A and B are shown apart, each in its own frame.
Chain A
Amino acid sequence: MKNVILSAFAAAALISVSACKEPADPGVDFAINFKATYDSSQLEKNKPYNFDATQIVVQRYRLYLSDIALVKDTTVVPVTDVVYLDFTPDQAASDLSKTPRIVFSGIPAGEYDGIRIGFGVNAANNAKQPSDFPAGTPLANELDYWLGWRSYIFTVLDGRMDSDKDGDMDLPYSYHCGSDPVYRVFTFNQHIHVEEGHPELNIEFDIRKLLLNDNGTYYDILANNATSNLVTDTRVAEDISSHYDTATTIKQ
């Protein structure tokens, strides 16, 4: 009997200790505003923009981001596994690009040193197809899945350029960047404060910078006006995707 009583006490003590542990941090809501720009101004469809010595217009800009995470030293705090952004929905009455705002829940409050972003769809998810995902989720979207390559199209950037500077947007360009070699992950160092009600994070993608080479010269649209359809030729797609490093701005 004595043993039974002791065991009961021990169990009660254990339960009590467990109950005294700090509850798991429920985290806070953390909002990110996404914006497409051209030369730092909000992108507008079909508006002629200066590009090198000529002009271009942008007609479509869509983008997948994966494995967005806040980083602090060696700690990585996942924010979301995938986001799909359509800055230029074809039914929008206004030509001004959309500025999607997404609220992520359960993010631990605190100070962070930066944010890590995967540009595209990570290899694990890219090995699947839209039918593998629940309806209404970003990867169930068939619009930006290329059956031929068995890949999501990570970035869609379409428009026209005035190739001979006569005012006529005669040269179409279409950068549809997809497949695993094209996936890029960049970490952006920026102090980020996460707290309920704290100013939201703004992430901007600048199309002009997306079309600038690493040495600051303009991308040669005339010579490379489209991503190749050969699965073995990802050169142009990789060029464009690599520019997200400099084309992305984080602000809070």
Chain B
Amino acid sequence: MKKVLHIRNFGLLLLGAIAFFQCQDGNTPITPDEGDLTDIPYNPKPYAVPKPAHFPEVPFPADNPFTVDGIALGRRLFYDPILSADSTMSCSGCHLPQGSFTDNYAVSVGIDGIAGKRSSMSLLNIAYANNGLFWDGRSKTLEEQALLPVEDPIELHTTWANVIEKLRKHPTYPEYFRKAFGIANKGEITKELAAKAIAQFERILISSGTSKFDQFINGNIDALDEEELDGKLMFFDEGAAYNLPDGQCFHCHGGITLTGNQFFNNGIDSVASLDDFRDKGLGGVTGNRFHNGKFRTPTLRNIAFSAPYMHDGRFQTLEECVAQYADNGFGVENEDIFIGQMGFPLGNGKYSGLNAYQQRALVKFLHALTDTVAINNPDFQNPFK
């Protein structure tokens, strides 16, 4: 009887061990011995993210502080096609440095050649996005966001279980995960840790603060030429004293990152009712009809590199964007109030729009937001090249 109990106990232990290791993300169990990583030193070094002095402190969640090894791992994962089903596409497939971390397509295309319905958003200064991510705000944090494209059938089209299995079996990733997060065993590699690492890397993608606009606001008044300065005055509604109309741009593209990270109907769709938007945007997430057709405001920093524009890439040039806004929208019920207010006031809530010179000056100012130092920052580039 005693022997039977011993055998039963051993069996239960074995079952428990199998269950434990199978409960991890990957399909293949890793035994403690073969997965042991404790010989590899774990010495996390905090990382102070470089930022221009006039930018706010770079925020991060308390449970995912920056470390040198966390960022290094995130950078590799970001650029590694191992995250896709057929190992052909990585996060960077839609977020390339030269496109200011967009892909320069109207809508992004996944590994199966299927086009999505929206354009990729710039990741520059994404650390400051504190009001939801994606065009429709459906993810609250970068950690949450980074989980979604892997399993999206029109993006990387795989499963996290498959990715985690590849990462656990990989010759170097277990070591990177150990160094980044102190895991003791390959079996502890999870999708949540992968997402944390990617989020750490994405948060360091900060402007250099060297654009003409940055130089100007830091005291170099010669940094902007006359036309760019006129554009700046209209952009920030500061032109009244110079007989320049209000562009009203900064109400949505405000703050030092030139996005308030809010959601707006920016007046580009003429629809009969709020139910008629082809893409409901925020409304598709919240279910609030008044949110239909509202999208998160993208940053305008490096906007010259991230064409085409709008959530569906409908405009090829900045000139088209400004011309659209200068027409003062379509009067749809939930259009932002500032969409109808571009230009000089004509009374009774009507505005003049912008003439050709004023539109050109605004576009020139948008080009003054160009920051080639950021997109060429060696720390932001593909580590496999």
Q: Which residues of A are at the interface with B, using a C-beta cutoff of 8 A?
A: 45-46, 59, 90-95, 129-131, 133-136, 140, 142-143, 145-148, 158-160, 163, 169-174, 222, 225-226, 228-230
Contact = CB atoms under 8 A, between A and B. Distances in A.
Given A142-B254, A148-B237, 18 more contacts: A90-B264, A90-B291, A91-B131, A93-B286, A130-B256, A131-B54, A131-B57, A142-B128, A142-B255, A142-B260, A143-B260, A143-B261, A143-B262, A147-B255, A147-B256, A171-B348, A226-B341, A229-B246
A202 B154 CA distance: 50
Contacts of A159: 337
A40 to B, nearest CB: 24
B227 interface: no
Contact of B337 (A91, A94, A131, A160): A160
Contacts of A173: 337
Contact of B263 (A91, A145, A222, A228): A91
B57 A163 contact: no
Nearest to A168: B331
21 contacts: A95-B288, A130-B255, A130-B256, A131-B55, A131-B57, A135-B56, A135-B57, A142-B128, A142-B257, A142-B260, A143-B254, A143-B261, A145-B255, A146-B250, A147-B250, A159-B337, A163-B348, A170-B348, A172-B337, A172-B349, A229-B237
Interface in B177-231: 217
A211 to B, nearest CB: 16
Nearest to B264: A90
Interface string B48-91: 00000111111100000000000000000000000000000000
Contact of B59 (A135, A160, A163, A172): A135
A160 B290 CA distance: 15
Interface string B330-342: 0001100110110
Interface in B251-288: 254-257, 260-264, 282, 286-288
B56 A131 contact: yes
A197 to B, nearest CB: 30
B137 interface: yes
A148 B238 CA distance: 7
Interface of B: 53-59, 128, 131-132, 137, 217, 236-238, 240-241, 246, 250, 254-257, 260-264, 282, 286-288, 290-291, 294, 333-334, 337-338, 340-341, 348-349
A202 to B, nearest CB: 27
B61 to A, nearest CB: 10
Contacts of A45: 290
Contacts of A93: 286-288
A229 B238 contact: yes
Main secondary structure of the interface of B (DSSP, over half): loop
A174 B54 CA distance: 28
A163 B132 CA distance: 35
B290 A225 contact: no
Given A131-B53, A133-B56, A143-B262, A95 B254 contact: no
Contacts of A160: 337
B53 to A, nearest CB: 7
B256 A90 contact: no
A90 B263 contact: yes
Contact of B132 (A91, A143, A229): A91
Given A172-B338, A172-B340, A142 B56 contact: yes
B290 A135 contact: no
Contact of A171 (B241, B333, B349): B349
Given A134-B57, A143-B255, A91 B286 contact: yes
B240 A229 contact: yes
A100 B255 CA distance: 24
A160 to B, nearest CB: 6
Contacts of B57: 131, 134-135, 140
A230 B240 contact: yes
Contacts of B261: 143
Contacts of B250: 146-148
Contact of B56 (A94, A140, A170): A140
Contacts of A172: 337-338, 340-341, 349
B237 A90 contact: no
A144 B338 CA distance: 15
A92 to B, nearest CB: 8
Q: Name, among B56, B282, B340, the residue most crowded by chain A CB atoms within 10 Å (CB to CB).
A: B56
A31 to B, nearest CB: 24
Q: Name, among A131, A142, A171, the residue most crowded by chain B CB atoms within 10 Å (CB to CB).
A: A142
Nearest to A93: B286
A130 B338 contact: no
Q: Name, among A91, A92, A131, A134, the residue most crowded by chain B CB atoms within 10 Å (CB to CB).
A: A91
Contacts of B348: 163, 170-171, 222
Nearest to B51: A131
B255 A136 contact: no
Nearest to A131: B56
Given A93-B286, A131-B54, A136 B337 contact: no
A170 B257 CA distance: 32
